[in-house]
Amino acid sequence: MDGDPSIPDDDAFPGASPMNLSGILVVVPPERLDACAADLGTLPGVEVHHTDPATGRLIVVQEADGVDAEMAGLLAIKARPHVRAADLVYHYFANEGEES
């Protein structure tokens, strides 16, 4: 991936299995929270971990094979019906067998 040198390319560690975990804050209309949570849960690698019915906010964790897949997943979340905002608020990157 071109750009920020602190973000490794998908091929930066040949032979290693990268793990990308993203914490994403998603905002939807409160009256659509349940339907949107169910919809987001159908996306590959996405789990809804918390919902706030009063504000329409969801905390989503996405696991992806690489940075490119991670960013594609975030864009897919942003493109879902009724999603007002989706922002990456936490990112964890490690290679298989690597200690954090």
**Could you tell me the mean pLDDT of each successive run of 10 residues in the chain, 100 residues long?**
52 63 97 98 96 98 92 97 97 70
Distance of CA 25 to the CA centre of its chain: 9
94 falls within a domain = no
Domain of 60, in residue numbers: 18-89
34 falls within a domain = yes
pLDDT of res. 51: 98
Instruction: Note the pTM of the prediction, 2 decimals.
Output: 0.78
1 falls within a domain = no
pLDDT of res. 1: 44
Distance CA(41)–CA(51), nearest Å, equals: 12
pLDDT of res. 66: 86
pLDDT of res. 94: 79
Place of tokens 């007002």: 84
Distance CA(32)–CA(18), nearest Å, equals: 34
8 falls within a domain = no
- Tokens matching residue 83: 């999603």
